[in-house]
Amino acid sequence: MTPQIAIIGCGAPGRGQARGHVRGYLENGAEIVALCDISRENAENLRESFGFHDARIYTDFNELFASEKLDMISICLWPHLHAPVAMAAAKSGNVRAIHCEKPVAPTWSDALQMVETCEKAGVQLTFNHQRRFNAAFIAAREIVASGEIGEVVSMEAWCMDLFDWGTHWFDAMASFNGEARAKWVFGQVETRGAFAIFGVPIEKLGLAHLEYENGVRATLVGTRFEEMWNGLRVRVNGSKGILEVGQPKHDDGLGLRIFDSQNGWRGLDAPAEKDDSGVYARVMSEVLGCLKSGETSVLNAQSALKTTEIIFAAYESARRGERVHLPLDAALKNPLKELLSERGALPAGVLI
């Protein structure tokens, strides 16, 4: 049977992640049967843009879950709405699977509760770490797995911040390191210039250094200070060479290059691809395929929780001024918000 899909959070005309989700579903033969947005106009615009004119429109997600039998929903809302919408869907009994935008949730306790509720209800929950399905990252994982650079020793990553962007790069590092769990995290943030994005407080400069249970160390630097910006990339240091995937400063697109002592740095062929319909087609093929087969998706909720735990552990470490050993206390909320509040630096627009 054709998978029946609903999109929650349609985005303003021509904007938002919902459009990528829709393209991915349509590429995989699924049917968009319902749309939900507090703005009916936004939902109507998305419906007309893709031509699924029979899709029903809702402005209340509870009404949607009470009225529709759905194979999968996509949650394309701001982070503070992820947990309440996902839990309502799971408890309704009318939704078999949820594919949710990242980051998981704005607090650690919300993230845990969201995942636990879906697991208890038997609902497949996945998160949209779509960069795993970018051609350059796929090629990079194959190179690491082949042993060409030897055993993974350490990793370094650069991005915009620890939370909104960092979730992708922590996820990427986990994929290069056999999905290992972190053992401890040391973090630091600069509170100067903190701002809110999608209702969540974000640092303008942050650092996380961690050790995985297999002994591999990793460091991520996130900054929006132009003088410190070093591109969007991950470097995997192996016992026989170095692999780097990403977008160095001022370069266009995602690149792939490798270093060894005999040849130095050399570029590798990887299809030039951004987060377009090709990436989303592979994402939706993965999550829909796992729903059909019963297999666990690489985008599964437990994998996303490992990444989320590192982020909040880095914030808790910065707040406490010491290394934080995992697992985190299940009652932990958002230590960055607490730290910013203590220093009188909490930005406007924070919703959590």
pLDDT tens per residue across span 71-90:
999 999 999 999 999 999 99
Number of residues that this document lists for the chain = 352
C-beta of residue 104 within 8 angstroms of C-beta of residue 112? no
Task: Tell me how far CA of residue 112 lies from CA of 21, 57, 302, 319, in angstroms.
Answer: 24, 30, 9, 21
The H-or-E segment that residue 341 falls in is helix 335-342
| 35 close to 21: Cβ distance less than 8 angstroms | no
State how far the Cα of 269 lies from the Cα of 260, in Å rounded to an integer.
17
Q: Nearest Cα to 132, choosing from 305, 18, 299?
A: 299
pTM of the model: 0.96
What pLDDT is stored for residue 21 in this prediction? 97
Report the pLDDT value the prediction gives residue 116, as an integer from 0 to 100.
98
Q: What does the CA dihedral 48, 49, 53, 57 come to, rounded to 10 degrees?
A: -70
- Position 275 scores a pLDDT of 52
- Residue 176, classed as helix, strand or coil, is helix
Gap between the Cα atoms of 87 and 85, Å rounded: 5
Helix or strand (DSSP H, E) at 264 = strand 264-267
Query: Which run of H or of E encompasses 314?
Result: helix 301-320
Query: What is the SS3 assignment for 72?
Result: strand
> What are the tens digits of pLDDT across the range 158-200?
999 999 999 999 999 999 999 999 999 999 999 999 999 999 9
- How far apart CA 201 and CA 337 sit, in angstroms, is 6
Q: Map out the domains of the chain with their CATH numbers.
A: 4-131+278-298 (3.40.50.720), 134-273+307-342 (3.30.360.10)
| pLDDT the model gives residue 133 | 94
Q: Which two tokens stand for residue 110?
A: 């919300």
Q: Is 9 left (phi over 0), alpha (psi -120 to 50) or beta?
A: left
- Please enumerate in sequence order all residues whose Cβ is within 8 A of that of 83, keeping only pairs 6 or more positions apart, or say none: 105, 110, 111, 113, 114
Kindly report the three-state secondary structure assignment for every residue of 209-251.
EEEECCCCEEEEEEECCHHHCCCEEEEEEECCCEEEEEECCCC
| Cβ proximity of 223 and 193 under 8 Å | no
Residues of the chain with pLDDT under 70: 248-253, 270-275, 277
Q: For residue 5, which amino acid is it?
A: I
The whole-angstrom separation of Cα 284 and Cα 282 is 6
- Measured distance CA(203)–CA(347) in Å, rounded: 10
